[in-house]
Amino acid sequence: MIDAATLARNPALLKLDLYCKGARLDASCFIEGDGGRKVLRTRAGLGSGLELVLPGGLWTNVPVTEPFAARSPYVLHRVQGSYVLRHGGRDLAPVTLSPRPAWYDDTTAAGKPMTRIGTLQGTYLGIYQAKVCEYWTARPQKVNCKFCSVGLNLGVDDADEKSVAEVMEVVRRARDESGITYVDFNTGHYDGDTYLDILEPYLVRIKKELGLLVGFQTPPHRDLRRYDRLREMGLNRVSFCFEIFDRETFKEVCPGKDAEYGLDYYLEAVRYCAALGKKGPRHEPWVTNGEIIAGLEPAESSMRAIDWITSVGAIPTVCVFRPLVGTDLEHAEPPSTEDMVPVFRRLYEACMERGLPIGCAPNVHVSLVMLPEECRTLTARRFPLQVMKLKAMAGIFGYRFRRRLRGALGH
């Protein structure tokens, strides 16, 4: 068990420990009344928790509704209008509630609650587009990923039909009032590989009209050349969630992905798209992510996945497994922080060793995962030259982004 003094000194370790243990809410908390965000059950289930900002400006999403959180040593208290995280009954760290924007309580022109179109995940806007993933409706037996709650969530907090006009309306409000810089679309699997056809009209409109960074996460399309076109159009990020690197565990936990595409095809798509960074418009950054869930396979296997992803020039997105209520894995235990530390340490080190562009996007704070750059305090290794290079890149990205945004705003 990591002691409280170490957790108080190291916000990255605290963020990780909270993912693994969750927190309890003291009766003094008044989350929505104090301008915080309601706990929403959205987005492949990872966003089931309370959105908070930890010391050091680390945005996070803390599990509070799962049974394991009821045993947590962390309790959130409200003291004279401010929030403090206590650990084992003693004050550990002051925290702030991630602010709930005014548009969260508003509806679109068509009368739909705006949070059913998109929600903030940290400081970016996440949109789960289109109908439920078809692994959930497969017959004779559903073949959904066992950790996933999308089939439980849709129609609860996420609307299923979202017109381009509605999405544009919400993205504009989020840009103008919440200062978002990035919009992320996410779909499940649809027969006939229609997900890119469904997403393209949204991606193109946002990219052309709003000056924001735009990315998407879908299964790997069978025609990989489709990604050349999306890169050419100026899109900024593509993410492939293969979740698990160990082949047997992949088959068992992700039966639909295994039968439909297979792990090798996911890896091929990551490799192909990472290579597109050298093509396409030079003024538009391009990042390929390979996404995995740590805690569903041995830590060594997650670290092998990180090494493989970075070896092809992609950046790993590493989630911490959260056994969500109602899912096939709801009775599984979350991983231990001690097992997770080497994984996230490797995440930072591998990105720095390969010279990958981490932490360069302006104002993108992610609550659902530990970003690679957030993990730097988990290692004693220092990469001074790479840090200097990344600072320079962030400065250039930021300058170009602000200039384009001013153009889109007409001033």
CA dist 354 and 358 (Å) reads 11
CB closer to ligand SF4, 135 vs 216: 135
According to DSSP, the β-strands at 287-294 and 315-320 are parallel
CA dist 309 and 205 (Å) reads 31
How does DSSP assign 246-314, residue by residue? SHHHHHHH-HHHHHHT-HHHHHHHHHHHHHGGGSS-TTS--EEEEEEEETSS-HHHHHHHHHHHHHTT-
According to DSSP, the β-strands at 124-128 and 182-186 are parallel
CB closer to ligand SF4, 145 vs 212: 145
Least distance in Å: CB of 44 to ligand SF4? 5
Instruction: Count the helices and strands in the chain (H runs, E runs).
Output: 12, 13
Least distance in Å: CB of 157 to ligand SF4? 15
CB closer to ligand SF4, 125 vs 145: 145
Q: Which H or E element spans position 226?
A: helix 225-232
Least distance in Å: CB of 241 to ligand SF4? 7
Q: Name the phi and psi angles at 394, rounded to 5.
A: -60, -40
How many other β-carbons are positioned within 10 Å of the β-carbon of residue 201?
12
Least distance in Å: CB of 310 to ligand SF4? 23
Tokens 């915080």 sit on residue:
36
Least distance in Å: CB of 150 to ligand SF4? 4
Least distance in Å: CB of 138 to ligand SF4? 10
Least distance in Å: CB of 215 to ligand SF4? 16
Tokens 């530390």 sit on residue:
341
CB closer to ligand SF4, 180 vs 296: 296
CB closer to ligand SF4, 7 vs 46: 46
Residues that bind ligand SF4 (CB under 6 A): 44, 133, 135, 144-145, 148, 150, 188-189
CB closer to ligand SF4, 103 vs 321: 321
Nearest C-alpha neighbor of 264 from the set 279, 251, 277, 278: 251
CA dist 245 and 308 (Å) reads 10
